Amino acid sequence: MNRRMGPPGSPVWHRMLDGAEAILQELGYGALTSRSVADHIGVKQRLVYYYFRSMDDLIVETFRRLAARELERLDGALTGDNSLHEVWNVCVHTADTRMVAEFMALANRIDALRQEVVAYIETTRRIQVSALEKAFSQDQGGPMPTAAMAILVTSAALTLHREAAIGVSMGHAEVTKVIEDFIARYEPETR
């Protein structure tokens, strides 16, 4: 027998995702429970299970919503004249790196989330590769395979965020300058 479920996309459903996101960001996945989500948004704990079959489902939906926001930003960056600059800008001003770490840790435990994370990374990588290919089109290709370059640049952006969050800054300006100079070589800004 199928149990009755609350409607996805309703205001309460979104509030629960907001609550889960805030808890992950502030306290980490160890603090994310149906009780903590309910307490955070001021509802009874059983209401969480009216909207989500399990906490895993709530976590997956929270990730999907965050991923959709980031993909929208990247898609918008890809359509501009300076797509390489814009994609880099999105990478360095991305969602909280703590959230990235929390979802990566949870993806090791929740198969449905792992599948969503893989799909998201592969989609963002395709967008990054497209921006690189667009910039390199007049130069008959760049200095290395575009997929490799996308991984290196994304990894640099994540490292800069993670280190800055704990107070490390040594080498950050230099890495940023190297990447920005490289981008400027292939895509001079036309602002």
Residue 39 lies in a domain: yes
User: What local confidence, expressed as pLDDT, does residue 191 receive?
Assistant: 46
Instruction: Render pLDDT for 161-174 as a digit per residue (tens, 0 to 9).
Output: 888 888 899 999 99
Whether 69 and 146 share a structural domain: yes
111 and 24 in one domain? no
- Which spans in 2-79 are helix H? 11-27, 34-41, 45-51, 55-78
Both 86 and 169 in one domain: the answer is: yes
Average pLDDT (57-86) is 89
Residue 118 sits in the same domain as residue 35? no
69 in the same domain as 42? no
Share of the chain above pLDDT 70, in %: 94
- Please give the Cα distance from 33 to 31 (Å, whole number): 6
Mean pLDDT in residue range 10-27? 96
pLDDT reading at 38 higher than 90: yes
Does pLDDT of 102 surpass 80?
yes
* Burial degree of 20 (CB within 10 A; 0-12, 13-18, 19+): buried
Q: What is the pLDDT of residue 141?
A: 61
Residue 191 lies in a domain: no
How many other C-beta atoms can be found within 10 angstroms of the C-beta atom of residue 157?
A: 21
Q: What is the CA radius of gyration of the chain?
A: 19
Same structural domain, 77 and 33: no
| pLDDT the model gives residue 47 | 96
Model pLDDT for residues 124-146, shown as the tens digit of each residue: 899 888 888 887 776 556 677 88
Work out the mean pLDDT of the chain and round it to a whole number: 88
Predicted pLDDT at 189: 65
* Sole residue written with tokens 């509030």: 15
Confidence of residue 4 (pLDDT cuts 50, 70, 90): confident
| Confidence (pTM) | 0.84
**32 in a domain, yes or no?**
yes
Between residues 191 and 171, which one has the greater pLDDT?
171
Q: How large is the average pLDDT for residues 155-161?
A: 86
Which residue range forms the structural domain that includes residue 43?
1-53
Domain co-membership, 84 together with 38: no
Q: What is the pLDDT of residue 130?
A: 86
Residue 10 CA to residue 5 CA, distance in Å, equals 12
* CATH (domain of 8): 1.10.10.60
Whether residue 1 is predicted with pLDDT greater than 70 in this model: the reply is: no
The count of domains in the chain is 2
